[in-house]
Amino acid sequence: MEIKILDWIQTLHTPVGDTAMCLITKLGDAGIFWILLTLVLLILPKTRRWGVILAAGLVVDLVLCNVILKPLVARIRPFDVNTAVQVLISKPKDYSFPSGHTAASFTVVSGLYLAGAGKLWKPTLVLAVLIAFSRLYLYVHYPTDVLGGIIVGLVSGYMGYRIICSAAFSGNKEA
């Protein structure tokens, strides 16, 4: 059923969509956009607490997603199942579940939301949804990989928030 969903998404391809989805997915490569956002937030005194929460969440995400779940589940990617599909980006070499791009994206969204980051979490949510969809559009993840990435991201953002809040209430004034 998941391959059928991905095959249906393939019918939505257009030259403009292909270019846009390739660019959007690159924002999530190695979490670079989210890491840069975290660094900017860490540098600015007014948003430093948000940056610390995101940094903690992204570390949790890295461990959960890349160290524990991907090797444990060891799910092959959809383009390895349906080899007739032309993949528009470099084929990822790691396992498919969960989507790391999606997990990192939703880690930031949930971390910002929980930190009370005003309206900043809303545009990050839009970008996170676009990145998640791009992974399906580009045939590099199954829908359940993306759903798993959303869950891992929400949990990671929450854990990052809780870790920093716990440190702040335990007497560590720098958190």
Read off the pLDDT of residues 33-83 as tens digits, 9 standing for 90 and up: 999 999 999 999 999 999 999 999 999 999 999 999 999 999 999 999 999
Judge whether 161 lies within some domain.
yes
**Residue 174 belongs to some domain of the structure:** no
User: Does some domain include residue 128?
Assistant: yes
109 assigned to some structural domain: yes
Which residue range is the domain that position 93 belongs to?
2-169
Residue 175 falls within a domain, yes or no?
no
CB 108 within 8 A of CB 157: yes
pLDDT tens digits for range 58-72: 999 999 999 999 999
Indicate the number of domains in the chain. 1
Query: What is the distance between the alpha carbons of residues 156 and 58, in angstroms, rounded to a whole number?
Result: 7
pTM of the model: 0.92
Query: Which domain CATH number covers 68?
Result: 1.10.606.20
Q: Is the pLDDT of residue 170 over 80?
A: no
How many CB atoms neighbour CB 167 within 10 A? 15
Q: For residue 113, is it within any domain?
A: yes
Q: What is the DSSP letter of 86?
A: -
The per-residue pLDDT for range 89-126, each reduced to its tens digit, is 999 999 999 999 999 999 999 999 999 998 999 999 99
Using the 8-state DSSP alphabet, how is residue 90 labeled? P
